[in-house]
Structure 1
Amino acid sequence: MTRQRSAVLIAGPTASGKSRLALARAEERGGLIVNADSMQVYDTVRVVTARPPAEDEGRAEHRLYGTVPASRRFSTGQWLGAVTEILAHTDIEREVIFVGGTGLYFNALINGFAEVPEISPELTLQVQQELEPLDEAGRMAMLVEVDPEIARRLGVADPQRVTRALAVHRATGRRLSSFQDDLQEGPLQGWRIERFVLAPDRDVLRARIATRFEQMFASGAVEEVEALLAKRLDPSLPVMKAIGVREIGDWLDGLHGREEAITLATIATHQYAKRQRTWFRNRMGDWPRLGLEGQPLR
């Protein structure tokens, strides 16, 4: 009889201690850690995207961290394809630990992912430029007009997700929700799965976020952004949207001071964490909740 394969899914907002919890689990059980964060797949920006440090990667095997050139776009479908390849070449006895903050990745693991045609970068950029002057309410209004079901599923008009939905509709004439309704089977079908969402107290999370960019500035974030900007990449690329890239870049250009750069990046991180929590609440409400770094909630 074939043994049922085992996976652990650890989701949570930024700065909640997901990577530390995953590392402890991997060291305890000899597990393989697979990145489930859409920004940590890119090279050049280890510090800016809070990727696990090299010493942690040396303590347990990590996959899909920093493996994609910053000059590329890496879709959820491509990530899922890479995961499927990893699983096919991983010992069936070995526990696989997925960790990150990208809700779509976890959804794809369990429920599968719709095959959506490739959207041209030019069209994506055009939509981004149209959305840029709009606030969340304005983005949501545009999304509701084109794809009310996607608007309902998202709950929050995240700029990247709205751009994706509008671009798909313009390119194909079909709503993104109709593609998603044609889901293929997820790669973890039939696996024994443990799943957790880290949901630490908001004040604790805010305090951790507040100190994050001070530490990043002291740990090489500025040098990373300098290296990234030296590549003169298309500003619409996902890696250029990583929190801290614009803020540090503007500081390097003399548009504001160091403390203001840190403050702006911290505010952006708070907003991102809020969007993550909303996704987890709306789409992963039945997942068990843990506190900071996997501690039991009080």
Structure 2
Amino acid sequence: MPWRNATLLAGPTASGKSSLALDIAQKKNGVIINTDSMQVYALLRVLTARPAVEDEKIVPHYLYGHIHPSEPYSTGNWLRDVEALLAALTSDRHVIFVGGTGLYFRALLGGLSPMPEVSDDVRQYWRERLNNEGAVSLHQVLTEKDAAVAKTLNPSDGQRIARALEVIDATGKSIGWWQNQKGFPLVDPGQAERLVIAPGRNILKQRIATRFDQMIDEGALAEVEALNSLGLSDSMPAMKAIGVQQLSDYIKGEKTLDEAIELSKIATRQYAKRQMTWFRNQLDDTWQRLE
């Protein structure tokens, strides 16, 4: 049965979602579940703006920093983790889902197509080919195997291309076929409180700038150094966290720190703009807009 006692809190990066979620959780004796695809990764507490340790002590926070950066993690993985978590909670507990990943919210309310299990051998085979041959080469392979899906994917999106190839390899069916199967919502769409923060552009710009300066003060550079020491492929999702590439360029001596910081702020603003566009176009009038 879908969870009835829930608040969904969406919004762009740096909009103050985590603070508002903490307030709601304290008032409603609730728990907070991360609904952001980058905050799932270990090593990147500061750079992904995860809640402070002190805040996590006030109310329970779940699905933050629980995935090693070397592991791929999909919307389906997250939804399965949420399902297991909800099964362990009592039904009267208020649950606050907070984050900026629109697909996670869509999956909560509409369900996700049941995707097949893929063996480690098949997954490893396509990940190695991705690392060795590159995304564009694998996109050509996918075009030959599944042209319809290949047309929907950016040739540089290595993770989704590899995923499509491993599914068709493991099952003989297109990932598009699997995606068209019916899923089940984990949260009752008719009962959940839905909130989306939509701050003014100038306010958000200032918050992004101030927050990134704080990230530098709080150890973002050390996090990037630790991440780089793992020797991961640039195609891994954790390597695409905003600030990783920019600060890596500074660490390698290719940019000054001021340049890396400014480029990170620009990238964050661009990301926030894409998030706000998605929320504006994809979230209907059942979502309450908060300034």
- TM-score of the aligned structures, taking structure 1 as reference length: 0.81
Distance change >3 Å, CA 8–CA 123, structure 1 → 2: farther
3-state DSSP class of the match of 1:196?
Answer: strand
Say if 2:217 is the partner of 1:211: no
Deviates more, 1:192-201 or 1:166-175: 166-175
Greater shift, 119-128 or 176-185, is seen at 119-128
Q: Do residues 188 (structure 1) and 187 (structure 2) align?
A: yes
CA distance in 2: counterparts of 1:256 and 1:214, whole angstroms: 17
Distance in 1 of aligned mates of 2:151 and 2:232: 34
1:266 maps to what in 2?
265
- Provide the aligned C-alpha RMSD in A: 2.7
Q: Does structure 2 retain, via aligned residues, the 8 Å contact 1:108–1:186?
A: yes
Given that 1:6 and 1:96 are in contact with CA atoms closer than 8 Å, whether structure 2 keeps it comes out as yes
User: In terms of mean alpha carbon deviation, does 64-73 or 282-291 score higher?
Assistant: 282-291
Partner of 1:40: 39
Residue 92 of structure 1 corresponds to 91
On the 8 A contact 2:5/2:93 being kept in 1, the answer is yes
Q: 1:159 to 1:34 in 2, by over 3 A?
A: farther
Match of 2:26 in 1: 27
Aligned-partner residue type, residue 136 of structure 2: E
Shift in alpha-carbon separation, 1:198–1:83, aligned structure 2, 3 A: same
Q: Name the count of aligned residue pairs.
A: 270
Q: CA deviation at 1:189?
A: 3.7
Q: Deviations over 1:77-136 (max 9, x none)?
A: 1111110111111111110000000111111111111133446324655896429xxxxx
- Name the aligned partner's letter for residue 130 of structure 1: V
Q: Which residue of 2 aligns with 1:283?
A: 282
Letter in 2 for 1:13: P
Deviation at 1:227, TM superposition (A): 1.4
Shift of 1:238: 1.1
Cα shift at 1:278: 2.0
8 Å Cα contact 2:8/2:193 also seen in 1: yes
Match of 1:73 in 2: 72
Separation (CA, whole Å) in 1 of partners of 2:182 and 2:188: 13
CA distance in 2, matches of 1:288, 1:206: 24
Partner of residue 127 from structure 2, selected from 121, 124, 135: 121
**Equivalent position to 1:130, from 128, 136, 143:** 136
Q: Secondary structure at the match of 1:231?
A: coil
SS at 2:32 equivalent:
strand
CA distance in 2, matches of 1:202, 1:126: 41
Q: Is the deviation greater in 167-176 or in 104-113?
A: 167-176
TM-score by length of 2: 0.83
What runs of 5+ residues in structure 1 fail to find an aligned partner? 132-144, 152-156, 292-296
Change (3 A) 1:30 1:283: same
CA 1:226–1:148 in 2, change beyond 3 Å: closer, same or farther?
A: closer
Q: Secondary structure at the match of 1:92?
A: coil
Q: Map 1:136-215; keep pairs closer than 5 Å.
A: 146-147=148-149, 164=160, 166-171=161-166, 172=168, 176-189=175-188, 192-215=191-214
SS at match of 2:194: strand
How many Å apart are 1:167 and its aligned residue?
4.3
Can you list the C-alpha shifts for 1:134-154, whole angstroms capped at 9, x where unaligned? xxxxxxxxxxx8459968xxx
Change (3 A) 1:96 1:226: same
Cα 1:129–1:58, aligned 2, differ >3 Å: closer, same or farther? Answer: same
Judging changes above 3 Å, is the alpha-carbon distance between structure 1 residues 73 and 147 closer, same or farther for their aligned structure 2 residues? closer
SS at match of 2:192: strand
The more displaced of 182-191 and 46-55 is 182-191
SS at 2:97 equivalent: strand
Distance 1:10 1:284 in 2: 12
Q: Is the 8 A contact 1:114 1:182 kept in 2?
A: yes
Distance 2:178 2:133 in 1: 19
